[in-house]
Amino acid sequence: NTRVYLLDGHGGPVPFGAVGELCIGGAGVARGYLNRPELTAERFIASPFVDGDRLYRTGDLARYLPDGNLEFLGRNDEQVKIRGFRIEPGEIAARLCEHAWLREAVVVARQDRAGDKHLVAYVVCAPEAGSDDDDGGGLAGALRAHLGARLPDYMVPSAFVRLAALPLTPNGKLDRKALPAPADDAYARRSYEAPRGAVETALAQIWAELLGVERVGRHDHFFELGGHSLLAVQL
């Protein structure tokens, strides 16, 4: 007597494997919120699939796995918009946790010193995965490559911060205010070699100032250090 649907922003079913809002229909759906008609109208909608049925829009984001189970990916009120793209941080975290090195991950949008938003991933490594001896930049490079093979570029975080454990509130929820700002080793870096000559030195200084990092080597990659096309036009 319960029906579950994954719907897009227009109320239509999403393709198998795509992310959609979890909506519930059937005999267990309530009439609405007590004395809150506006919220009731927003969350309780007529079902386009069963005559006379109503759906409850949970606000949860999920997708179907190949085995038919639903994978919870976060809340749609956690969506962020960066450089014109709507992004589900929970989807990125779920892809990160597919990496053998990781036990937990969370992705948030942070503002840099210039006020621009960028994605930062906070990860907890599995101790048996053998990544304890890896430097932060090497870990960031590996995770960036992992996501780059599975997600579009705009969904790949610019920084990957390694934590011993995710900070939690007394209620057991993620304490977002306690998440630290990324340090230099949170970015994917190549083996450092100092810039050569006046031109490389000047460019490295401009990159460091623009990207908010301490130093830039001659083999570092602008986009791997958190750069993007809108920053590139400021060079």
pLDDT band at 106 (very low <50, low <70, confident <90, very high): very high
| pLDDT at residue number 232 | 65
Under a CB-based contact definition with an 8 Å cutoff, are residues 106 and 93 in contact? yes
Average pLDDT, the chain: 83
Q: What is the pTM of this model?
A: 0.62
> Is residue 141's pLDDT more than 60?
yes
> How large is the average pLDDT for residues 137-145?
83
Q: Domain check: are 49 and 8 in the same one?
A: yes
Encode pLDDT of 23-40 as tens digits: 999 988 998 998 999 989
pLDDT band at 173 (very low <50, low <70, confident <90, very high): confident
> Is residue 51's pLDDT more than 70?
yes
Q: Domain check: are 90 and 181 in the same one?
A: yes
Encode pLDDT of 183-195 as tens digits: 877 776 556 667 7
Q: Domain check: are 177 and 84 in the same one?
A: yes
Q: Which of 13-17, 96-100, 102-106, 229-233 comes out lowest in average pLDDT? A: 229-233
Q: Domain check: are 89 and 124 in the same one?
A: yes
Q: Domain check: are 112 and 22 in the same one?
A: no
Check residues 199 and 231 and name the one with the higher pLDDT.
Answer: 199
Q: Domain check: are 34 and 99 in the same one?
A: no
> Is residue 221's pLDDT more than 90?
no
Measured in whole angstroms, how far is the alpha carbon of residue 39 from the centre of its chain?
28
Domain enclosing residue 233, as ranges? 190-235
Query: What is the total count of domains within the chain?
Result: 3
Q: Domain check: are 194 and 163 in the same one?
A: no
Please enumerate in sequence order all residues whose Cβ is within 8 A of that of 161, keeping only pairs 6 or more positions apart, or say none.
120, 121, 122, 123, 179, 180, 182, 183, 186
